[in-house]
Structure 1
Amino acid sequence: MYIAALLARTEDGWEASDTELDDVETLSDLADLAREASDDDTVIVYIEQEDTWFGIVRIDGEDDPRIYVSDAAAAARSSYGEILTREILGDDLDAELDELDALDLDGTEDGEPLHDGTDEDDDDSADAAAGAVPAAPAGDGQVLADLGLSERELRALDSDALSVIAEAVGAADVLEAVR
């Protein structure tokens, strides 16, 4: 389950809204959705998947989106997170995801036995593929620094990150009204 929220800065202050991501298939779709909320000012799109990872996409007018994800490996395994990590990690992610897709859940390739009779596990290929996408924050850690949330504070967030972010940028009251 995903949580998605838009925080849009307007001349009257911040506006918050829940948003549906059903029609979002690319970063361009997400940027267009954000720009509909506020053409010229800052819009922050917050996406979270069940306290596993969260992502922030910041749109400032027509500038390119700035992106941050709390856990690139977890995000890369989800549909919306893959959009964000693909943008951060680039074309290298395609090869890494293809390698992960070729593995069964137990870390072996389709039809391959769990053990080959040696003392070594067949998990080496799964470990290598999983290690290709860092299980760590990725992207622009300074994405909210000018709005009151430093990179250090952003990297320390885990559960209830949306509330902390909204508080830091001064949008907690409007977010609470939407919730």
Structure 2
Amino acid sequence: MYFAALLARTEDGWEASDIELDDVETLADLADLARESAADEGETVIVFIEQEDEWFGLVRVDGEDDPRVFVSNGAAAARSSYGEILTGELLGKDRDDADTDLDALDLDGTEDGEPEVAEAEAEADDTDGVIAPAGPLGEGRVLADLGMSERDLLALETGDALGEIADAIGAGEILEAVR
């Protein structure tokens, strides 16, 4: 089961909304969705994605700048449909070249029938044999200017990490309202 939300920073503070990721196939799609949610061009928007207690990811979009991505556990995220969008981009993996069949995925991101461990590990490989690390991946300083240091971000346990992040950047109550 996934949880996904957008936090948009406005001149009045943070605004949150839950989002559907059904039509998102690439990081560019996700960044476009974030930009569309911003009231004004150039606003900071952070996409929060979490798969139960497996992993969480952050995508920060500042105006037309390239999205900045952080994933708490690359290997766990690479085994999920939405996490693969983030890890694939971070590892330079072209989603069109991936072996994952998007039509076989449920809307909650799990495959029909639970995959065997060997199959799940194999899905983390791309054609060049790149495997996502079983730990943090991406830009740890993604929220440093908003109040969450890289050290604090890396120290988070998966459980209520998104709540702790939202609290650190001053949006805890706003995020809870959409949970």
| TM-score category, normalised to shorter length | 0.7 to 0.9
| Residue pair 1:93, 1:133 contacting (<8 A) in 2 also | no
Q: For residues 1-179 of structure 1, what are the structure 2 equivalents within 5 Å?
A: 1-38=1-38, 39-91=41-93, 105=116, 107=118, 132-158=131-157, 159-179=159-179
In 1, Cα distance between equivalents of 2:13 and 2:150: 23
Superposed displacement of residue 32, structure 1: 0.9
The structure richer in helix per residue is 1
- Deviation sequence 1:69-121 (CA, Å, 0-9, x none): 000001001111001001101139998x65xxxxx83649xxxxxxxxxxxxx
Is the partner of 2:86 in helix, strand or coil? helix
In 2, Cα distance between equivalents of 1:106 and 1:152: 31
In 2, Cα distance between equivalents of 1:61 and 1:168: 22
Identity across the alignment (%): 68
Is the partner of 2:46 in helix, strand or coil? strand
| Residue pair 2:4, 2:18 contacting (<8 A) in 1 also | yes
TM-score normalised over the length of structure 2: 0.78
Paired amino acid for 1:139: G
TM-score normalised over the length of structure 1: 0.78
| Residue pair 1:5, 1:16 contacting (<8 A) in 2 also | yes
Total equivalences in the alignment: 156
Greater Rg over alpha carbons, structure: 1
In 1, Cα distance between equivalents of 2:88 and 2:117: 25
Superposed displacement of residue 56, structure 1: 0.3
In 2, Cα distance between equivalents of 1:80 and 1:90: 16
Is the partner of 1:132 in helix, strand or coil? coil
In 1, Cα distance between equivalents of 2:18 and 2:151: 27
In 2, Cα distance between equivalents of 1:60 and 1:106: 37
